[in-house]
Structure 1
Amino acid sequence: MPSDDLLRSPLHDRHVALGAKTADFGGWLMPIEYAGGGVVKEHTAVRERAGLFDVSHLGKALVRGPGAAEFVNATLTNDLGRIAPGQAQYTLCCDESGGVVDDLIAYLRADDEVLLVPNAANTAEVVRRLAAAAPEGIEVTGEHRSYGVLAVQGPRADAVLEALGLPIGHEYMSFVDAGWRGSPVVVCRTGYTGERGYELLPRWDAAGELWDALLEAVVAEGGLPAGLGARDTLRTEMGYPLHGHELSLDITPVQARSGWAVGWRKPAFWGRESLLAEREAGASRTLRGLLALERGIPRDGCRVRALPTAEGDGAAAETGADVGVTTSGTFSPTLRQGIALALLDRSVADGDEVVVDVRGRPLRARVVKPPFVEAQAKGQPI
């Protein structure tokens, strides 16, 4: 899509002033990396100190009315009954076949109000499906440009927020309604990097002033503004899924090892019967990690083949047999080697060696269980 047709974050002019390289993310022109930083430096800043991300392209939707939480619980996969108002939850919107329309965060504000944060490209479809299914008295509204979303991630995240007088220290996946310079801001203890961090939802027109103050505090802690390039390398090191790669209409939560985000005992949610049947039968393929054993960087969409073995049965015993495909791949700045996530046949086990076809060049890799690096933040991917 031509850049003139793409939507802009409320911080777009600030990204331009910082010399950001930008690209299309779900119809939004967003920063990949900044001048003077670059993906590796920004990634390292988050792992060791602090980084500030603009993720305002993420969608926002409100479900309001008597029984709103009960309605959301009967549609999305995870069990909202496990959390209380003031807590957030990673969940999935599936179709009836069990395919994933989107993965998102649900902020439980009250029994009659749930704020949802889907991915940018899928927001309209999530809102459409919920609105079509909503009973009388429950309203589903798109709020994409009502809120910005800023993420402060890294070991020094608490110090950054403390410098602005914002609340810190609340439990993982919980949020606080706070104020800053007379404007409301939601502060949630969460993130997409594996590090300690917070995601802040200011009003759209107040996001710029908050960004400026946060960036000053991040830099004072030795950190950097970070683009979506570093966000991708950070989440891949943690094995966190990205919709359109590890989750899609063709990749179910069972295959993606996201069954922990499914309330299996709930009487109803979209895709329930199909997912229960797949879990009972066992998925034909499973999401795993690949750690390169030689120089090379796997990318998404690479064929994965078995190594020849002297004996055995199934795909792993057949010389050069295809056993899967990579869904994401990158250079790990932390490990200094290539890593990938891949959907592999269930005949493949952790510890096996495989060959990744990287543009016609074979790359040996070991099958591992993510994360590739130790998480500093507790909890599941969000």
Structure 2
Amino acid sequence: MAEVSGTPLLQSPLHDRHVALGAKFAEFGGWSMPLEYPSGVVKEHTAVREAVGIFDVSHLGKLMVTGPGAAGYVNATLSNDLGKIRHGKAQYTLCCDAETGGIVDDLIAYFEDDEHVLLVPNAANSAEVARRLTAGAPEGVRVLDHHRQYAVLAVQGTNSDEVLDAVGFPSGHEYMSFAEVEFEDSGVVVCRTGYTGERGYELIARNEVAGSLWDRLLEAGTPFGMLPCGLGARDTLRTEMGYPLHGQDITLDVTPNQAGLGWAVGWKKDAFWGRDVLLKEKESGPQRRLRGLLALERGIPRPGMLVSLVPDVPLCEITSGTYSPTLRKGIGMALVPTFVDPEAELGVQIRTRREIFASTKLPFVDTSVRES
């Protein structure tokens, strides 16, 4: 088993299936997960944009906040207004630091009822989110960590409905909602969510049935052009959409205002972690904002590369950068100081040369028609 600093990496319940498919693996948040399959990142990316792909994202956390007042407690701590959604709906939200307003993690909250809220944080931050919620929980509210008991499979792409229909699962429900279904005498949550910008679903199932569920979905998806996809394609897909990645674009040093995530904050709520400092920053205006950078030349930006005003005024670093298979250009994101003209051309230091990039609004690719 692979290790990071002497600690063995965790494995998905589907690990053996990925090995059989010839996957290359990489470390993600303490887990050994498939980076790509023999088809390669570009083909996997294109399958999602034009047909359908299936991802194993079982490294994502799974926390259940349960007990009398559980939903109210979540609403008083996390950023978004849980009171705006109802049973069977999901919501993108943020766990912010109470003192600084920095982003501890971004996550999805699934509102089951007033006493049960399922949270899906990122793998690397799951334990920290659980720790913070547990530390402040009122009497009767518990935070249960199911990180290693459940798998998460993502069926993403224009043909995702057809794949779910073929296995008899619910499809076509409203975006950011979920339904439940039985599979091999076990409950599966079918969520209309995803991280690719395409129409798609995320399925949460117990480890015991994850393998047969993967097999069934892959079999049903073959006639619709389905490919197994690794986290390499997941990264290019989310970057095209301008979706931030925690640990790169958003961190404890980055606030929702700076990251352009103010829409995920319930500003009218009486309480959430970081409320006062974030309201103050919102009123005065953040000193930097996450912007998209589109290559005007051939360069491909990578995290850590220096961004400067042309000709030579250092500004910041690339937070996310990759080659866009859809646009066939280099794209990236960076936390650019707000004094910089939004239409200014910026230089990115790529190895020994500086290449010119256009500053652009996110997303880079508009999939709104296909996603609706």
Match of 1:79 in 2: 81
Q: Which moved more, 1:111-120 or 1:345-354?
A: 345-354
Any idea what the Cα deviations from partners look like across 1:176-228, whole Å, max 9, x if unmatched? 01112322100000100000000000111111000001111222211200000
Q: Is the 8 A contact 2:198 2:371 kept in 1?
A: no
Q: 1:225 aligns with which of 225, 228, 243?
A: 228
The within-5 A match list for 1:248-287 is 248-287=251-290
Match of 1:53 in 2: 55
Q: 1:200 aligns with which of 198, 203, 208?
A: 203
Code of the aligned partner of 2:82: L
State the alpha-carbon separation in 2 of the partners of residues 206 and 143 from structure 1.
Answer: 15
State the alpha-carbon separation in 2 of the partners of residues 15 and 165 from structure 1.
Answer: 25
Which runs of at least 4 in structure 1 moved beyond 3 Å after TM superposition? 376-380
Distance 1:377 1:17, change over 3 A: farther
Secondary structure of the corresponding residue to residue 149 of structure 1: strand
**Displacement after TM superposition at 1:301 (Å):** 1.2
Secondary structure of the corresponding residue to residue 339 of structure 1: strand
State the alpha-carbon separation in 1 of the partners of residues 144 and 341 from structure 2.
Answer: 45
Is 1:367 matched up with 2:359? yes
Code of the aligned partner of 2:362: P
Distance 1:141 1:377, change over 3 A: farther
Any idea what the Cα deviations from partners look like across 1:102-144, whole Å, max 9, x if unmatched? 1000000000110000000101110010011001011111110
Secondary structure of the corresponding residue to residue 217 of structure 1: helix
Q: Is the 8 A contact 1:194 1:377 kept in 2?
A: no
Distance 1:15 1:41, change over 3 A: same
Any idea what the Cα deviations from partners look like across 1:345-370, whole Å, max 9, x if unmatched? 11223332110012232111000001
Match of 2:17 in 1: 14
**Displacement after TM superposition at 1:259 (Å):** 0.5
Code of the aligned partner of 2:339: S
Any idea what the Cα deviations from partners look like across 1:2-60, whole Å, max 9, x if unmatched? 2781000000000000000001000000000001x100000000000000000000000
Secondary structure of the corresponding residue to residue 176 of structure 2: coil
Secondary structure of the corresponding residue to residue 98 of structure 1: coil
When you count strand as a share of all residues, which structure comes out higher? 2
Code of the aligned partner of 1:14: R
**Displacement after TM superposition at 1:323 (Å):** 2.3
Is 1:30 matched up with 2:33? yes
Gaps of 5+ in 2: none
The within-5 A match list for 1:305-316 is 305-308=308-311
Code of the aligned partner of 2:192: R
Q: 2:144 aligns with which of 141, 146, 151?
A: 141
Q: Is the 8 A contact 2:184 2:209 kept in 1?
A: no
Match of 2:326 in 1: 334
Q: Is the 8 A contact 1:102 1:248 kept in 2?
A: yes
Secondary structure of the corresponding residue to residue 136 of structure 1: coil
State the alpha-carbon separation in 1 of the partners of residues 25 and 153 from structure 2.
Answer: 17
Any idea what the Cα deviations from partners look like across 1:304-327, whole Å, max 9, x if unmatched? 11114xxxxxxxxxxx11122211
Q: Is the 8 A contact 1:195 1:377 kept in 2?
A: no
State the alpha-carbon separation in 1 of the partners of residues 370 and 227 from structure 2.
Answer: 23
Q: 1:293 aligns with which of 273, 285, 296?
A: 296
Q: Give TM-score scaled by structure 1 length.
A: 0.94
Distance 1:101 1:29, change over 3 A: same
Code of the aligned partner of 1:59: G
Is 1:179 matched up with 2:182? yes
Q: Is the 8 A contact 2:93 2:108 kept in 1?
A: yes
Match of 1:323 in 2: 315
Q: Which moved more, 1:213-222 or 1:54-63?
A: 213-222
State the alpha-carbon separation in 1 of the partners of residues 338 and 263 from structure 2.
Answer: 19
Distance 1:166 1:39, change over 3 A: same
State the alpha-carbon separation in 2 of the partners of residues 100 and 51 from structure 1.
Answer: 30
Code of the aligned partner of 1:125: E
Distance 1:241 1:170, change over 3 A: same
**Displacement after TM superposition at 1:378 (Å):** 8.1
Distance 1:377 1:166, change over 3 A: farther
Match of 1:311 in 2: none
Match of 1:356 in 2: 348
Secondary structure of the corresponding residue to residue 77 of structure 2: coil
State the alpha-carbon separation in 2 of the partners of residues 159 and 139 from structure 1.
Answer: 38
State the alpha-carbon separation in 1 of the partners of residues 371 and 163 from structure 2.
Answer: 22
Code of the aligned partner of 1:157: S
Secondary structure of the corresponding residue to residue 148 of structure 1: strand
Secondary structure of the corresponding residue to residue 359 of structure 2: strand
The within-5 A match list for 1:234-249 is 234-249=237-252
Q: Sequence identity of aligned pairs in percent?
A: 63
Gaps of 5+ in 1: 309-319
